[in-house]
Structure 1
Amino acid sequence: MQQAGSAGGTSGLRPGAAGAPPTIDAARVGRLPRRIVAVYVSAVGLVVASGAWLAVYGFVEPWIALAFGTFVAVGELMRTTLPGDRAQAPLGAAGALAYALLGALAGERTHHGVAQVVVVTTGAAMVGMVPRVVRGRQPRWDSVARRVLSVGVAALLFQPFYNRGVLLRHGLEHGPANGAYLAVCAGVAALADMGLAALLAGAHSGARFTHALRDESCALLRIGSAIVATGVVIAIAAGEIGLWALPLFSVPLLLTQAGFRRYAAIRATQRQTIASLARATEVAGYTLPGHAQRVTLLACRVGRELALNEGELLLLEYAALMHDIGQLSLVDPIPGGATALLSRTEQRRIGQLGSEVIRRTGVPPEVAEIVARLAEPYRRPDGSRDGDVPLAARIVRVANAYDDLACDDPGPARREEVLAQLREETAQEYEPRVVEALARVCQRMPG
């Protein structure tokens, strides 16, 4: 990656020392862990209350519960990573939603309520995590909490009204009206799940809730809509054909999941290839160890702070990983990897050479354009702004300069010193809003 100078003339700035530890791997927003705890406590409270209810009033229709619980557990075992690096279990989510919205089964009324739906869903989700725990990996508590709470919302909107005959009295238990009501219940549950996902994702990534909510809403329009539709269809079809609805009407969702999984696998392979290529500069001694990953992580967090969408963040990630590849054209490595000693003409030459390498890797052409423009300052010599430079290039430029200056001392005092130096350069070299976004990200770093 291009260092402070390759990002553009950071005059008088001191590059970091080799072997410095990552500066932001453990970054967290101080108040967000409390939100995560609140979600967990809510889920645990709902499960405990549901268990107590069943202990008093009893468990009904165990074979139906076993069938749906098994279906949900199998779906959890088939969890996959979908676009956007989201680990989801579409089949398990659809099965849990169908059980929450289940009224009649093969023409016979069911009598399970909200408490039983919550307990069965929780048990199935826990069973689905067993192989992961056996392999020594961390349990997905976020997913369990989301599943319990969102399914609880769906069950709360349907089961009490169904079991008490309210839907029957208002003509909502049969025909198109029933389908419409189930769709509304499923939609509300999906929105609740989207909000929980945004809350938890924002806590883990440091992104603002509104930005995380926007990303999750995009995900809902993709696989989420298929989950909602499948859950509703299974619940309706089970009223006529019984438990056969589970395998029959899950096939379309399985095909959709397979398509998403294939796409995610292709993208993961592409990223691994890019990351391996980016390490070439470190192996050859042109850049500091871990520099590529640190700058990439920081750039992506700044990108989220500036409300970049998922597609823009992907291009930003690729550019941050590969933006130093042009240094391989140098005969001798620059001390510390910093190119501040080079002229802007040489910096641009390095960027162009790196861009040509990237164009031959199959990476989206936008990435090559970002790398080619990294040496361009925020303002021209006449004081006008160069509006043709991609925002991603400006973000990588700032993130790269920060890591060069702060990687040897990631403490709060050094951060403030580096940010002050970067602010001094906003008159020409760095875009002010990018530097301020970086400052907000730095404020959320642990001391």
Structure 2
Amino acid sequence: MTPGVSSPRTRQQRGPSRQRFDPTRVVLIAVASAGAAGSLCWTSLTGFVEPHAALAFGVLVALGELARITLPGNREVAPIASAGAIGYTFLVTIGGEPVHHSPAQVIAVVAVGLAVGELPHVAVGRTPRWSDLARRLLIVAIIAVAFRPSTLWLEPSGPHWGYKLSMMGALVMLVWLVDSAIAAAIRAERLRTRFTVAYRDEVRALLPIGLAVGASGILIALASSVMGLVALLVFTAPLLVTQVAFRRFAEIRLTYLQTVRALSRVTEVGGYVETGHSRRVSRLAQAVGCELAMRESDLLELEYAALMHDIGQLSLRDPIPSGATVLAPPREQRRIAELGSAVIRETGVLDSVADLVRRQCEPYMGDGDDGPPPLGSRIIKVANAFDDLVGESKDRDRIEAVLQRLRMDTDREYDPAVVEALASVLNRPAPRWSGVRLLSGTPLGSGGSPSMAEPAQEGARDG
């Protein structure tokens, strides 16, 4: 079905308010909540040790959570909070004096710090992203359970210190891989893509900031052994500079996407295509790309290309009726695609997107020396043809008829794998896929305009 379109029978079976259920996310939140509650109860009964250190690191975690950022791909991270939590977990001595806090106290302090840092966000109306909070707490819990018991039988310094430092590094790498796997499992369920593809994307995205956070946490713990708690300020400053750079990068990406969206609407404002056509094609193309397990970088290019696939129509003296290029002669389709590609190529940074737009009208097996067009071009061709023929119609018979027409042309024009992926997306219950967020953080909705809000605000809604 089209986004937001469902038959009366389907609506009756689902009910009006059924929410999407992601098992991995639910289990993750339940485990983290149980661990936090159990640790708080146990620590309250046994009492806090070294409360001054617990307070200092708890405040650092809270401030870091308050200053969290949302990276491209709708990934929420809190580098300072995570580094402070890892530093507290690895803390062995403060100014030469041994510390003896238990794994339960580590989890309790971090849980309270995350909760306090979340309160200002809740106060301004941002719904917590529970799965991201749970992941941040879980990685600390894994390190604490694995590392803190070793402080009972290894001396803070001496021949065993090298072993302990190696253990710190190994644990940081382990939890980074575990965190990437959990994030990939949630992403695969949400986007309906393959876990292996999602895992590779998460590893690429989280590697730079994960290494910086882990190294900073270890440095904070080591420096505290000599400098005391003042090390928190000294070694948090470089991470703060890094976080500012990441935030600036995310803002630039958002501005870039807003420019592409504004450019894609020129054809609608000029009356060359129906209102909402580019957005609908982009949503369908993204969903089909996820169904075909495209990489995140390829999905982002697909989103840009799908938004601007009709920009070549601005060169037409007489607009095509309803902007339906699928009904235009092949020569006219090719001219529109080439002109649109030339416009996009003028940006100087979207050559791959321009190539997707240029080859969107070719048969799926190709018709020249260049061979078959890229997968993104084949997806745009199918999504555009479907929306040209269906538009905003909610008639199920019409949708099925268009799908059958596309299947009849799979011997030459349309990629059969893409057409079947489109059919799978359309036949999926709407609540299961219409809330999927694009790479930019925009939800796949029922036809409304994509939000132009800051990614951190778009990402405030979890799932």
After TM superposition, the score normalised by the length of structure 1 is 0.86
CA distance 1:442–1:94, shift in 2 (3 Å): farther
Give CA deviations for 1:10-34 in whole Å, capped at 9, x if unaligned. xxxxxx9xxx96569xxxxx98612
Match of 1:177 among 154, 163, 170: 163
Alpha-carbon shift at residue 145 of structure 1 (Å): 0.9
2:15 alignment partner in structure 1: none
In the TM superposition, 1:20-419 aligns within 5 A as 33-162=22-151, 165-168=152-155, 174-379=160-365, 387-409=371-393, 416-419=400-403
SS at match of 1:427: coil
Letter in 2 for 1:424: M
| Structure 2 letter corresponding to 1:166 | W
Contact preservation (8 Å) 2:324, 2:388: yes
**CA offset at residue 176 of structure 1?**
2.2
Question: Residue 431 in 1 paired to residue 415 in 2?
Answer: yes
Per-residue Cα deviation, 1:306-358 (whole angstroms, up to 9, x for no partner) = 33333222221111111111112223332332123311100111111111221
Q: CA deviation at 1:190?
A: 1.6
Q: 1:325 to 1:354 in 2, by over 3 A?
A: same
Sort the Cα spacing of 1:103 and 1:440 in 2 relative to 1 into closer, same or farther, 3 A: farther
Residue 284 of structure 1 deviates from its aligned partner by 1.9
| Cα displacement (A) at 1:442 | 3.4
CA contact (8 A) 1:153 1:189 kept: yes
Give the whole-Å Cα distance in 1 for the aligned partners of 2:423 and 2:158. Answer: 54
CA offset digits 1:88-143 (Å, max 9, x no partner): 11111111111122222221121211222112212211222222222222212122
Deviation at 1:151, TM superposition (A): 1.0
**Rounded Cα–Cα distance in structure 1 between residues aligned with 2:69 and 2:275:** 32
Q: Is the 8 A contact 2:285 2:383 kept in 1?
A: yes
Measured in 2, the distance between the counterparts of 1:386 and 1:436 equals 25
Contact map agreement 2:366 2:373 (CA 8 A) in 1: no
Are residues 413 and 253 of structure 1, via their aligned partners in 2, closer, same or farther at CA, if it must alter by over 3 Å?
farther
Helix, strand or coil: the match of 2:414?
coil
- Residue 411 of structure 1: CA displacement? 7.5
Moved more, 201-210 or 312-321: 201-210
Secondary structure at the aligned position of 1:387 is classed as coil
Identify which of structures 1 and 2 has the higher relative contact order when contacts are C-alpha pairs closer than 8 Å and 6+ apart: 1
Structure 2 gap ranges (5+): 7-18, 432-463
Deviation track 1:192-230 (CA, whole Å, cap 9, x = no partner) reads 221221122233333332222111111232211111111
Q: Which moved more, 1:148-157 or 1:351-360?
A: 351-360
* Cα-to-partner distance string for 1:392-411 (whole Å, 9 max, x where unaligned): 11121122223334443458
Contact kept? 1:378, 1:385, Cα under 8 Å: no
SS of residue in 2 equivalent to 1:81: strand
Cα gap change, 1:145/1:57 in structure 2, threshold over 3 Å: closer, same or farther?
A: same
Contact in 2 for aligned 1:374/1:393 (Cα 8 Å) = yes
Moved more, 323-332 or 82-91: 82-91
Q: How far, CA to CA, are the matches of 2:72 and 2:293 in structure 1?
A: 18
Of 386, 389, 405 in structure 2, the residue corresponding to residue 421 of structure 1 is 405
* Aligned equivalents of 2:287, 2:120: Cα separation in 1: 32
Q: Distance in 2 between matches of 1:85 and 1:229?
A: 24
CA distance in 1, matches of 2:218, 2:424: 43
Change (3 A) 1:38 1:354: same
**Contact 1:22 1:407 (C-alpha < 8 Å) held by counterparts:** no
Cα 1:287–1:263 change in 2 (3 A) is same
AA of the residue aligned to 1:395: I
CA gap 1:252/1:400 in 2 versus in 1, 3 angstroms: same
Using the alignment, how far apart are the partners of 1:21 and 1:32 within structure 2?
A: 18
- Distance in 2 between residues matched to 1:443 and 1:258, nearest whole Å: 43
5+ residue gaps, structure 1, are 1-15, 25-29
Alpha-carbon distance change, 326 to 345 in structure 1, aligned in 2, over 3 angstroms:
same
Q: Secondary structure at the match of 2:327?
A: coil
Q: Secondary structure at the match of 1:270?
A: helix
* 1:137 partner letter: R
Alignment-mate amino acid for residue 203 of structure 1: E
Q: Secondary structure at the match of 2:325?
A: coil
Closer, same or farther in 2 for the Cα pair 1:340/1:301, shift >3 Å? Answer: closer
Amino acid at match of 1:360: E
CA RMSD in angstroms, aligned pairs only: 2.8
Q: Does structure 1 retain, via aligned residues, the 8 Å contact 2:92–2:221? A: yes
Write the deviation string for residues 274-301 of structure 1: whole angstroms up to 9, x where unpaired: 1001011122222222222222222223
Q: 2: distance between equivalents of 1:200 and 1:414?
A: 34
Cα distance between partner residues in 2 of 1:92 and 1:302: 37
Higher mean Cα deviation, 300-309 or 97-106?
Answer: 300-309
Distance (Å, rounded) in 1 between the aligned partners of 2:376 and 2:86: 40
Q: Number of residue pairs matched?
A: 420
| 2:302 partner amino acid | L
Q: Which piece of structure 1 moves more, 146-155 or 256-265?
A: 256-265
